[in-house]
Amino acid sequence: MPSSDSEDFESADEGRSSPNKRERKKRLSSSNYSDNLESEQDNKKLEPVINKEASSIKENLPKDGWDDFDIEEESLPNNEPQKEETKASIVKPESSAAKKESQTSGWDDFDDWGNDNDNDIKEQPQKTKPQAQNIQEAPSSQQTSTKSDGWGWGWGVDSLLSTATAGISNLTTQVSQGISTVLETGIGAPDPEELARISAKNDTKPNSAEEKMISAETNHEQSNQSSATEGAFPFGSLLSGVTKFVETTGTKVIAGGLDTLETIGKKTMEVLQDGDPGLAKKRAMLGLDSGDKPVLSQVLREARAKADEEDQLREAKREAKAVHYETLFDDYEGLVHLEALEMLSKQVTIRIEERLRTDPDKRQDIKETLQQVAELCEMPDEEDEEEEEEVSEGASKGDALHERLQRATRDIGLKLQFQPLIKQYTEILTWLETDDPSITEKAVYKKAVSSLAQTTALCVELYHKTGEMLLVKSRRSTADEADALTQLTVVLTKHISDLATQFTEKLTSHATEDKDQVNNYITNVFLEAGNSSKYIENAFQLAIPIVQIGAV
């Protein structure tokens, strides 16, 4: 159990001591007048109070499976045996270890208590029955203890209370003592902590003596189950003793605390002024002395500059995000199209593999066909038949791109949508042609990255859509499809590099003083263009199985 629990417990104790007293008196009298035979009944009467108390000291009562009688018996007595034995020296093997600890301080008590509780619960089933049956019969040793629990619970809590309070006073003394040690008691004034400690000791002694006496008495009571009057006396005196003790300790804690605070304050000033009379240096250091106007405005100026700097930093971060290629590519749905295409590609690959498995006779044939298609889809060498078919004169760059795309895919047997790509290209061209000197090189760079990302996204979408349409196409012509896709890839990668070139030209033409930065931008643009080509190439590779499955 964590120590915080025991703290709670202890403070709850202090506050509640007097109501407890009343409750206890009531309970006490009722049990005193009752016969042993009726003890069970009595216990039931007491139960609500007990439960309340038990829960307030943060004990987890077993609520299920046990009848009321059990609960009460476990929840209350389980803290007693230990305590009782501590003072009265009855040896009970299972808690002897706990006993020793409980003598040292009130804190450990609580911890052990929680553990013992568990033990008691386990024991309970065996105990309960015999007790219920023959309460009056001569009890076995175990039973005696169980019975006495019914009587002894009241003082059990009390002794716990007193131990806990003693724990507080000890702690208080120790703490204040510790503080005074730290401060090395440099003040000439009489030491209040010392006084407090002494009086606390004096107070604790009679109390524990009282406790002992009571324990002995209760023990006595336990053994012969004697009359009511005998029980009533020790309880009353003990309770008043505890209350008084709590009161005095409380006063002492407060008084000691105030004294300690004063000591701390004095000592702090001493330390601060040590070698610095009047705190002149420290004031200077903290800027408290120089509170004139120019300095104040200086401070404000600095704060302003700092805020501006932070703003710029944040802006820079936002900008960095805005020109982040991957993010842009995702925003233009490029990533998700690529992913969807990959899903299709995987699905198709599984189908091809299945066919290879289920048709062993044709396996070789299928493999060859697959190989052929793959070869058809190999990218032509860079310089191969480049610029062979020049587009018609006078056509705009956008139209030229459209024409090339159309020509590349004319045999695919599908109606592909190139419009988004053309439209976007036209927009880029228009932007590039506007000769606005206010456009910074940074703006050009940003536009370059976002244009590349968007173009790439559109290209990937084109592959995705082409793949989907190929899969639902009724008549497949694998060779044409393979060729068309290969040509398409050539055109698209060329388009990307064209874009990059145009943007870098724009950057180079920009008259600027910061040559390094521009070079940096140019490098980045080519880098992202390479990225784009990779994505396109990737999409093309993913589309190949879709072409292949048409042939097998």
Partner 1 sequence: MVDPIFDYQFRLILIGDSTVGKSSLLKYFTEGKFAELSDPTVGVDFFARIIEVQDGTRIKLQLWDTAGQERFRSITKSYYRNSVGALLVYDVCNRSSFEHIPLWMMEAKRHIEPHRPVFALVGCKVDLVGNDNKNGAWREVSCEEARMFAEENGLHHVETSAKTGSNVEQAFILVAQEVYNRIQTGEYKVEDGWDGIKTGFNRPNGMDFNLLEAETVQSTCC
Q: Which is nearer to partner 1, 69 or 431 (CB)?
A: 431
Token output for 199: 């009086």
CB of 341 to partner 1, least distance (A): 10
Q: What angle do CA 242, 245, 246 make, to 5 degrees?
A: 85
Q: What angle do CA 35, 37, 40 make, to 5 degrees?
A: 100
Q: Which is nearer to partner 1, 339 or 505 (CB)?
A: 339
Q: For residue 484, what is the enclosing H or E element?
A: helix 478-509
Query: How many of the other CB atoms lie within 10 Å of CB of 203?
Result: 18
DSSP class per residue in 22-76: HHHHHHHHHHHHS-GGGHHHHHHHHHHHHHHHHHHTT-----SS--HHHHHHHHT
Pick from 425, 456, 421: nearest CA to 533: 456
CB of 13 to partner 1, least distance (A): 23
Q: Which is nearer to partner 1, 35 or 326 (CB)?
A: 326
CB of 325 to partner 1, least distance (A): 13
Query: How many of the other CB atoms lie within 10 Å of CB of 18?
Result: 13
Count each helix (H run) and each strand (E run) in the chain, helices first.
Answer: 19, 0
Q: Which is nearer to partner 1, 155 or 535 (CB)?
A: 535
Residues 6+ apart with CB under 8 A from 462: 416, 417, 418, 421, 488, 492
Q: Please state, in angstroms and rounded to a whole number, the distance separating the CA atoms of residues 429 and 66.
A: 84
Q: Which is nearer to partner 1, 44 or 321 (CB)?
A: 321
CB of 414 to partner 1, least distance (A): 10
CB of 454 to partner 1, least distance (A): 11
Q: Which is nearer to partner 1, 129 or 317 (CB)?
A: 317
Q: Please state, in angstroms and rounded to a whole number, the distance separating the CA atoms of residues 400 and 187.
A: 96
User: How far apart, in Å, do the first and last CA atoms of the chain sit?
Assistant: 71
CB of 87 to partner 1, least distance (A): 35
CB of 367 to partner 1, least distance (A): 24
CB of 15 to partner 1, least distance (A): 25
Q: Residue 210 carries which side chain, given as an amino acid letter?
A: E
Q: Residue 371 carries which side chain, given as an amino acid letter?
A: Q
Residues 6+ apart with CB under 8 A from 441: 507, 510, 512, 514, 517, 518, 521
Q: Where are the beta strands (DSSP E) in 304-349?
A: none
Binding site for partner 1 (CB under 8 A): 321, 327, 331, 333, 336-337, 339-340, 343-344, 346-347, 464-465, 468-469, 471-472
Query: How many of the other CB atoms lie within 10 Å of CB of 391?
Result: 15
CB of 350 to partner 1, least distance (A): 10
Q: Which is nearer to partner 1, 82 or 409 (CB)?
A: 409
Residues in the chain: 552
CB of 344 to partner 1, least distance (A): 6
CB of 321 to partner 1, least distance (A): 7
CB of 306 to partner 1, least distance (A): 25
Pick from 327, 333, 323: nearest CA to 458: 333
Q: Which is nearer to partner 1, 344 or 547 (CB)?
A: 344
DSSP class per residue in 206-259: HHHHHHHHHHHHHHHHHHHT--HHHHHHHHHHHHHHHHHHHHHHHHHHHHHHHH
